[in-house]
Structure 1
Amino acid sequence: MSDGGPGSSLAQPLRPPSAGRAAALAGLVVLGAAVGLAGALVQAAWFPGGLLLALAGAAGLFLGGSYALGSRSGAVAPAAGWIVAVVLLTTTRPEGDFLFGAGGGSYLFLLGGMALAVICATVGAGRRPGAGSARLGK
């Protein structure tokens, strides 16, 4: 069993991501922003079905990114893009225009999406130490 000693994979220093992984993370950030924008438009259009559809799309992206990259950073990257896009859409412009209305659905979309981001980053595929064929716990 690995205890984090000098020969353990847990004791290895962190390395910068490869170019392919950095590109995948950047793509997930952009995709998260796109899903946030689409969700902001859909959530108010067909309430409550649009809200559920927008949150399901966000959860699918967060969890799918986590499993695609095999780490929690795959869920954090699209969540960061989603949060930035949604928060930027909530700000009012000098003309007085804004995308979100002051209704319960908008708040459910904002808070529900953030909660889903935390849940998917926690539950998603995290780093696992390189274990042999032995079962853990024995």
Structure 2
Amino acid sequence: MSSKQRPRASSPSPRGDAPAARPAGTGLAAVPDPARIPLYLGLAVLGAAVGLAGTLVQAALFPGGLLLALVASAGLFYGGRVLTRTQLGALAPAAGWLLALIVLLGGRPEGDYVFGDELGLTLFMLGGMAAAVMCATLSRLPYSATGAGRTGA
């Protein structure tokens, strides 16, 4: 054995003039994955289709149609949230849904409206917006049915 000792490995001390690293955003502040952008656009188009169909169904079959349209809208928003595991997954179909409703309720230059002023349409709009907010602000997603992500099992 030699009498020389090996030098210890040490990490250099952080520089004082180094710029601070920006923390990664979470929730809606997180940068979306570029591979998911087509998925979000597809969800927005699907949201517009559900908004159009929901507007027609709730007007045709008032009490049951309104309930069916709200359940379909809430199911799409929640499904987008679970599919993408992001808040943007719930807001993308909600944006398409709201855009379709605004276009349908905008009126034409002749002064005609696609739909008249009815209580069902107002309830559909308010209920759908409430469902979108609830699905987008879920704190956690449920565990999968297979239990693959649980610890301690």
Whether 2:43 is the aligned partner of 1:28: answer yes
Calculate percent identity across the aligned residue pairs: 55
Q: Which amino acid aligns with 2:122?
A: Y
Whether 2:122 is the aligned partner of 1:107: answer yes
Contact (CA 8 Å) 1:67, 1:125: kept in 2 or not?
no
Out of 58, 72, 75, which is 2:73 matched to? 58
Q: Which amino acid aligns with 1:90?
A: L
* Larger Rg computed on CA atoms: 2
Deviation at 1:92, TM superposition (A): 1.1
Inter-partner Cα distance in structure 2 for 1:74 and 1:55: 18
Q: Which runs of 5+ in 1 are unaligned?
A: 1-10, 127-131
Out of 120, 136, 146, which is 1:121 matched to? 136
Equivalent residue, structure 2, for 1:46: 61
TM-score with structure 2 setting the length: 0.70
Inter-partner Cα distance in structure 2 for 1:85 and 1:107: 14
Deviation per residue, 1:35-90 (Å, 9 max, x gap):
00111111110011000111111000000000000111110000001011101111
Higher relative contact order (CA 8 A, sep 6+): 1
Whether 2:28 is the aligned partner of 1:12: answer no
Inter-partner Cα distance in structure 2 for 1:110 and 1:89: 12
Q: How many residues align?
A: 119
TM-score with structure 1 setting the length: 0.78
